[in-house]
Amino acid sequence: MIKVEASFVQRMFSVQDKVALVTGATGALGGAVAKAFAILGAKVVLTGRDADKLAKVKDELASGNLACEFAAGDPASEADALRIVEFAATTFGRLDVLAVCHGFNKPKDILEQSVEEWQAIMDADLKSVYVISKLSAAQMVRQNSGGKIIITSSARSKMGMKGYTGYCASKGGCDLMVQSMACDLAPHGINVNSVNPTVFRSDLTEWMFDKESAVYQNFLKRLPIGRLGEVEDFVGLYAFLASKASDFLTGGNYDATGGYWGN
């Protein structure tokens, strides 16, 4: 007899009524993930450092009758992160999902980049991930009903690049931190995974999508899928990792590189 319950299959991809905290919610990826969660029925708390931008994202989601609130703050600040997590839990009664979608880079050759600039990258892309994940996990443990932590890493976490000594180091550390956090939090029913995307379209990367440019052509040589990423290419993976369908998956660094890692 095939042991698959119809009731499980019918709701295995659901995030209905889950409470999801999304960092970097004013960015292209974070905004898309937040909207996708909300459309799927989750109650979403948007966060980022710019309150005015967050208010605009909230207004956009609320105009579609989507459940969302926002709390501004710096995820690298323990005080801010604690306030944001407590806001999510107080506003919607609990916290089920953390999606970390913020990030920062300032590419420079190691001989030109100051130690302060390198540290700023590490604080934004590694320390902040640790802080917001730690405090979100603590809230989930108090609830005693499991949870999901999904962290945005990068294709660059496993492949170095000129001018990326800070960024590659932070993302490589992020992948290992995901694997380690997964071990710590598994006894509490909390799954921890990362999504590792290639370049995707945003205000900052739009210039790279000129199909006639040497930059675009060079990227295509390394992407078997034949194009750069769009935010729509990634939101399904976040939804999957937030749902019960991924309950047996933890400590994974999920390739969303268009084949770059395997090329």
Q: Which residue has the higher pLDDT, 3 or 186?
A: 186
Q: Which residues contact 74 (CB under 8 A, 6 or more apart)?
A: 49, 80, 81, 128
Section 29-48 average pLDDT? 97
| Alpha-carbon dihedral 36, 142, 75, 159, rounded to 10 degrees | -70
**Contact 22/34 with Cβ under 8 angstroms?**
yes
190, 149 in Cβ contact below 8 A?
yes
Q: Where in the sequence numbering do the catalytic residues fall?
A: 167
| 42 CB burial (10 A radius; 0-12, 13-18, 19+) | buried
What radius of gyration, in Å, describes the C-alpha atoms of the chain?
Answer: 18
Question: Is the pLDDT confidence value at 88 over 90?
Answer: yes
Domain ranges of the chain: 6-256
Alpha-carbon span 44 to 39, nearest angstrom: 10
Where residue 208 falls among pLDDT bands split at 50, 70, 90? Answer: confident
The first and second tokens of residue 49, run together, are: 């450092």
pLDDT at 211: 87
User: How distant is the alpha carbon of residue 137 from its chain centre?
Assistant: 15
pLDDT digits (tens, 9 = 90+) for 228-258: 889 999 999 999 999 999 999 999 999 998 8
pLDDT tens profile 118-161 = 999 999 999 999 999 999 999 999 999 999 999 999 988 888 88
Pick the CATH number of 6-256 from 3.30.1330.10, 2.40.340.10, 3.40.50.720, 3.20.20.70: 3.40.50.720
Closest CA relative to residue 134, chosen from 192, 73, 173: 192
Q: Is the pTM of this model over 0.75?
A: yes
Q: Is the pLDDT of residue 60 over 80?
A: yes
Q: What are phi and psi of 151, to 5 degrees?
A: -115, 130
pLDDT at 220 over 90: no
- For 91-108, what is the mean pLDDT? 95
Extract the tokens encoding 54.
């967050």
What's the pLDDT at 263?
Answer: 67
Handedness of CA 230, 246, 30, 92 (dihedral sign): positive
pLDDT in tens, 152-204: 999 888 888 899 999 999 999 999 999 999 999 999 999 999 999 988 888 87
pLDDT attached to residue 215: 82
Sheet harboring 43-48: ordered strands across? 68-72, 43-48, 19-22, 97-100, 147-152, 190-197, 253-256
Can you give the pLDDT at residue 201? 86
Average pLDDT of the chain, as a whole number: 94
Share of the chain above pLDDT 90, in %: 76
Cβ 242 vs Cβ 99: under 8 Å: yes
